[in-house]
Structures are given as structure tokens and as C-alpha cells.
Structure 1
Amino acid sequence: MMDEEKLTFEQAMEQLEEIVEKLEEGDVPLEKAITYFQEGMNISKLCHDKLQKVEKQMTEILQEDGELRPFEIEEEQE
């Protein structure tokens, strides 16, 4: 497995999918299944953290004057 800090979100999701496939096969020894499960939980947390970071970045937008302001979607008035 790659260094988790250097994984992209997409790479982490691929690894998570591989772990899920192995666990769904059902022929994994219990000890190995526990190891896969723990790895999966770590990767899941990594994905969650990456998504939260991106979400935070997307909620703020850099204005022309260099000031960060909350990103707001303006709805059309009818």
C-alpha cells in the first residue's frame, strides 16, 4: 500500500474498493479480514478528511481584493 498521506482521493477510493471486494469474497481468514477491515477504516477516514478539506476550500472564494469570503449561490428572484 502507498503512503496514505500521498494518496490522491481517487487512489484511496480504489484501494477501499479492492478491500471491500476481498471482504465480500468471504474466503479470507478471520485475522486477515480484521487487517483488511482496519486498513479500510483508515482509508475511509483519509477520504473523509480529504473531502472535508475540499469542502472547506469550496465554501470560501477569493475575491478580487484578496479577501476570503463565504461562497454563496445566488438564487434567481422571480
Structure 2
Amino acid sequence: MQLRKARQDDFGVSQMLLATQAKNTEFAGYLRQRGGEAAEMRKQIDTLTTSLGSSQREVEGLKRIVNEMRPRPTTIV
């Protein structure tokens, strides 16, 4: 009877191990997928940051042009 109980316990533990390994494999796949998405987002952030820097330089250049076109006040002494 004790041997039968030990075998049942052993079988139960084996089943739990298999279930845990399956969940582990599933979770590892989930993490790989999320990691791929994070890498894509970092790439998009880098692209947007580069674009923003370019746009800011263009804005500064246009501001300089506008400032040069404005008439300067003249002071009469």
C-alpha cells in the first residue's frame, strides 16, 4: 500500500513537472515575442528622435531667416 501511494505521488510530481515545463516554454515564447516588440519600439523611437532633431534644426534655420528679414529699429541721435 505504501509502495502504491509512493508511485501515485511520484506520478503526480512527474505530471506537475511536465505541466511546469510546458508553462515555462510557453512563457519563454511570450517573453521572446515581447522582446521583439520592444526592439521594434526602440527602433521607432530612434527614428522619431532623429527626425525630431532634423526638424528642430530646420525650425532654427527658418527662425534665423525670419529674423534677418525683419526690419531693424533705427535710433536717431
Q: Report TM bin, short chain.
A: 0.3 to 0.5
Q: Hey, which of these two has a bigger chunk of helix by percent? A: 2
> Using CA pairs below 8 Å that are at least 6 residues apart, which structure has the higher relative contact order?
1
TM-score by length of structure 2 reads 0.43
TM-score, structure 1 length as denominator? 0.43
Q: Which has more strand, going by share of residues?
A: 1
